[in-house]
């Protein structure tokens, strides 16, 4: 029987945890027995109110820490605050994200979706790794189906989420897990019924071009999954996901491990980049 990872007694840190899917993940893990949860978010009012509500509902400790994940100093300070409060971090969920390719926001979007995630991942690894006296742990990086297929009106968003996917897969070899005890998981989320998709046209790279694309999606709508379905898939991935695995959550399905599909696709490309007549040592 495959190993099942447990939630009970674990200390969680989640970015973008004050609303939307992040807040839903927080509640799901508290219900499953998480010991402590640190909610990091830029929205201080909402975050404090949410943490206070959780503290009234659950015996577990929920704290809020204001953090702009595009700011390295705030990332560093927030991480240290969580360690001071909990002494240990077992699970990091890099959930904070922005979908905005507009001329004034695209760079910030990349900083949030990509660079902030890398920073938290690296800090988490250094804290958790067993080969440096850590206790091991799990880091979950949220990517998107936009990393798997093109979305013509949001190329910057697609690029940042593809970077998350490739970073996580490149990092999480079996050797890495054997040495560190840190399990890296990646979740590719399909369109979900959250405010992220609200008023999307001004956030596209070219509003003139986007009108025809959006007209097509209106005529042939892609089914947005419910938050509940996304959370169910997320929890399934946490419990069952092998180190380095990539999961898909879309269209209200229960969550699918797509690692073997991506491995097969990568091997096709590898055979083109490194043909069979290239010596093995050069591959």
Structure tokens given for 144: 């998107």
Neighbour-count burial of 112, counting CB atoms closer than 10 A to its CB (0-12 exposed, 13-18 middle, 19+ buried): buried
DSSP category for residue 245: -
Task: Please state, in angstroms and rounded to a whole number, the distance separating the CA atoms of residues 125 and 279.
Answer: 34
Q: Which two tokens stand for residue 30?
A: 């508290």
Catalytic residue among 25, 157, 177, 220: 157
Distance CA 141, CA 45 (A): 25
Clarify whether 177 is annotated catalytic: no
Contacts of 177 (CB under 8 A, 6+ apart): 183, 184, 243, 244
Check residue 87 and give left, alpha or beta (phi > 0: left; psi -120 to 50: alpha). Answer: left
Tokens 């509500």 belong to residue: 53
- Alpha helices by DSSP H, listed for 129-274, are 155-171, 174-180, 207-219, 227-240, 259-273
Q: Are 8 and 33 in contact (CB under 8 A)?
A: yes
Buried b / exposed e along 2-19 (16+ C-beta atoms within 10 A):
eeeeebeebbbbbbbbbb
Catalytic residues: 157
């Amino acid at each position: 029987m495959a190993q099942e990872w447990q939630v009970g007694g674990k200390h969680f840190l989640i970015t973008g945890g004050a609303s939307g899917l992040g807040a839903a993940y927080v509640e799901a893990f508290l219900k499953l027995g998480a010991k402590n949860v640190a909610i990091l978010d830029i929205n201080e009012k909402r975050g404090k109110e949410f943490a206070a509500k959780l503290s009234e509902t659950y015996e577990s400790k929920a704290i809020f820490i204001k953090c702009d994940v595009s700011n390295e100093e705030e990332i560093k300070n927030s991480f240290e605050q969580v360690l001071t409060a909990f002494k240990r971090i077992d699970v990091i969920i890099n959930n904070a994200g922005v979908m905005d390719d507009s001329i004034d926001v695209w760079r910030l979007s990349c900083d949030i979706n990509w660079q902030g995630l890398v920073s938290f991942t690296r800090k988490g690894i250094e804290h958790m790794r067993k080969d440096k006296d850590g206790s091991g742990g799990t880091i979950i990086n949220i990517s998107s189906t936009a990393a798997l297929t093109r979305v013509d009106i949001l190329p910057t968003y697609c690029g940042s989420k593809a970077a998350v996917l490739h970073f996580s897969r490149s990092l999480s070899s079996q050797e890495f897990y054997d040495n560190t005890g840190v399990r890296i998981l990646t979740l590719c989320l399909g369109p979900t019924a959250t405010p992220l998709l609200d008023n999307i046209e001004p956030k596209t790279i070219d509003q003139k071009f986007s009108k025809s694309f959006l007209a097509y999606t209106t005529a042939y709508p892609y089914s947005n999954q419910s938050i509940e379905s996304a959370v169910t898939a997320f929890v399934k991935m946490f419990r069952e996901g092998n180190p380095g695995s990539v999961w898909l959550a879309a269209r209200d399905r229960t969550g699918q491990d797509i690692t073997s599909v991506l491995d097969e696709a990568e091997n096709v490309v590898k055979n083109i980049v490194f043909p069979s007549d290239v010596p093995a040592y050069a591959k």
